[in-house]
Amino acid sequence: MNSLKIKKHHICFIWIHLFFSITTAQQYEEMSFSELESAIIHTEEHLNSIGRANSLMIIETIIDVSEKFNTKQEYYLKGSLYNLLGKVYFSSKEYKLALENYKIADLFVKELKGFSELAIDINNNIALVYLNGFNKPGRALKRIKYIYENSEDLNDYSQHILELNLANIYIKTKHYRKAYKLLEKCKKFFSSNQQHASKLAITYTSFGEYYDGNRHYSQAIKYFEVAASIAEKNQLYRQAMIIYQKYEELLIKIGREDKAYVILKKYTKHHQTALENEKLEANQFKKQLIVSEEKNTIETQKAQQSKTISIFTLSLLLLCLILFCFFIYNHKKTKVLGESLALRNKELKISKEKSDRLAAVKTKFISTVSHELRTPLYGVIGLSSILMERIHDEENHKFIKLMKFSADHLLNLINDVLQVTKMESYEISLDKSTYNIKSLADDIKNSFEYQAEKNGNTLHLNFDSSIPTMLIGDSVRLSQIFINLISNANKFTQNGNIWLNFKNPVITQNKVDITFEIRDDGRGIPADKQEIIFEKFSQASSKDHTNGTGLGLNIVKKLVNLHGGEIKLKSELGKGSTFYFTIPFEINQSKEEKIEKDVPQTFISLKNNEDYNILVVEDNKINQIVTQNILKTRGYSSEIADNGLIAIDMVKNNTYDLILMDLNMPKMGGIESTKKIREFNLDIPIIALTASDTKDTINQILNPDSGFSDYMRKPYKKEEFFIKIESLITTTISKAS
């Protein structure tokens, strides 16, 4: 069925409505068939910006509305919608749900008779699920060949799309000759029109996979480079990212790690570009959301004014009738006011629910992006650490050190964003453990002295001797407050002084209120900025050539509030700044004063590390290289399993001293694989490796039934990594003896 054109202003109207969960079913019911068709197309084109939850809401609403049209139009709309629903689930790797919805779409389209472009798209999608989701190339081939052999009156473009998909399946099933003939036809056709650049890039990528499968690696490299060039020239950033990923895997396979590193940088560049583009679309969505909310506010005000006028008119009428029926008038007035209040309360409740939904969507979006960025950062930080140890050439070592510093800085920014998100969703609570606050103060001073010296600053610690040493509280969150404030002071102070003061303890029974002060003699903060300095994304001056998200002081304020305090600021331009706050603590009255802080964490000595074999379960090739090389620095031997299924077989047939288990892998993830391993091996230590920092993920790992011995967040520090490994291996050896 040919797509119907609609006016430009109509498209904009639909486009704005698509982005908001506040769009009502009544608004969709007022749209024509062509408007709904365009709404479906725009939803598909902007799935990343709209988000999964809003997309599902839009699809379900239009499915209900489609029943008002004649049978043919209804079936066409439902076929398109269930096809789109399948794509939403496919993008989130929910392959079973994706296949179910594609098959429902296929049933509706079959009732329309013939092979339309929609029917071909649906069958292509079913083939992709079988191929990439369930690894059943045979079924995928059967589906594509059926369309290819039975479709009639297809235009040249659709015909060659089918041939390209068929060629890719032939490559998967190693029917290389058949694949080659089809790829040659596709290359000739897609080369003839600049508008087909995306499909031409896919064709050259398929040629690269074809030559890779035939072990003609030089030819494969040639075609991957051409494919990447086409994608970059046409600003196809997501496609370029996929091409560079396949290219990198080929280079690693043939031992070209040096070239693979160059390709990894290009992959990272395009990954960041794609994320920035999606961020721009998300920002556009937010701006449009603000406009819509303002419009709704105005409409609500108008409605309220109309109600007020109605009530006023009714009151006048009732006043006219008061001479005749005073008691009846009072009764009616009370009833009207009661209904008005109930309606207002209902409106307020609906408004709050909408606000909560939008906040939840924002929180999930930021957490997801942070998680997805941490995974490639693990590879970058890990590889740069390895290269720093191996390359001793002064100039190259300097460049690698700068790269690692930049990656570490990016990781800190991501952690700041994630922490703000957690605070806004109330996922952070304070720990209660005993610690030595004097030792904490000394550690903070020692850790920042080198950083301060680089700016020519001197760091001073003043600790009131009357402060009780042993306190109960969250030392990690308290340290984070000091770290952010000292970092901020050091950033804006050159050749000066920074003071960290612990003073004015007020002791009552088993509690103490301590005042903390972080002071510097740097440039100071302008008076007009002091009111907003603690807000998100706020900085002291837009002219500063300093890095930062403007989240550090916002995090400090929230953490101080979480401790029951309130942070305050005194500052004068040219003289410096003072941040101060008072926090209440419980005093530990125990004479034993046993705390983890006083016992320094040291490596548990293992003799002959090379005697211990570790299984690394990880699907990402770069992460495999990083983890193996990190283990190698401590002398451990290791083996690789590409997914959870392979890991199960390897544990059954070999002996390992420990398993490092990634959570997100194809075929079988780390959680399911660990449960299967525990069915026949209860003793081997298993450490979960995850880039996620969400509460749900951590709770899932820490569940006693999960089978995990411990977990590490990626990217991790090598010292903490080896402490956990050696501790678990030693514990296992002790139990066995």
pLDDT on residue 618 = 93
Closest by CA position to 445, among listed 515, 501, 522, 512 = 501
Block mean pLDDT (10 aa), the chain, length 737: 38 42 56 76 67 74 77 81 85 86 85 74 84 84 76 75 84 86 90 86 89 89 87 80 81 78 64 54 50 56 70 78 74 73 80 70 62 70 76 78 68 66 65 87 84 90 94 86 89 93 92 95 87 66 49 83 91 92 90 42 57 92 90 92 95 95 91 94 93 78 90 83 91 79
pLDDT on residue 378 = 67
Rounded Cα distance, 184 and 203, in Å: 9
CA distances in angstroms from 144 to 112, 122, 138, 160, 180, listed in the order given: 20, 11, 10, 12, 17
pLDDT on residue 365 = 66
Phi, psi dihedral angles at 619 (to 5 degrees): -90, -25
For the chain, give the number of residues: 737
pLDDT on residue 318 = 81
The runs of H, that is alpha helices, within 391-526 are: 394-424, 437-454, 475-491
User: How wide is the angle at C-alpha 415 spanned by C-alphas 419 and 418, nearest 5°?
Assistant: 40
**Interaxial angle between packed helices 71-91 and 117-128, expressed in degrees from 0 to 180 and rounded to the nearest 10:** 30
pLDDT on residue 28 = 65
Rounded Cα distance, 367 and 647, in Å: 29
Closest by CA position to 228, among listed 217, 218, 239, 212 = 239
Rounded Cα distance, 164 and 196, in Å: 13
Q: What are the contacts of 232-237 at 24+ separation with CB within 8 A?
A: 232/270, 233/197, 234/197, 234/198, 234/201, 236/197, 236/198, 236/201, 237/270, 237/273, 237/274, 237/277
Q: Which residue has the tokens 């100071």?
A: 524
Q: Which residue has the tokens 């280079």?
A: 251
Phi, psi dihedral angles at 30 (to 5 degrees): -85, -10
User: In this structure, what DSSP letter does residue 709 have?
Assistant: S
Q: Which residue has the tokens 């999608």?
A: 125
pLDDT on residue 347 = 78
What is the end-to-end Cα distance of the chain in Å, rounded? 74
All domains of the chain, ordered by start, with CATH? Answer: 1-154 (1.25.40.10), 433-598 (3.30.565.10), 609-736 (3.40.50.2300)
Integer-rounded Cα Rg, in Å, for the chain is 32
CA 474 to the chain's CA centroid: 27
Q: How deeply is 122 buried, as exposed, middle or buried, from its count of CB atoms within 10 A (0-12, 13-18, 19+)?
A: buried
CA distances in angstroms from 376 to 30, 621, 638, 692, listed in the order given: 46, 11, 22, 13
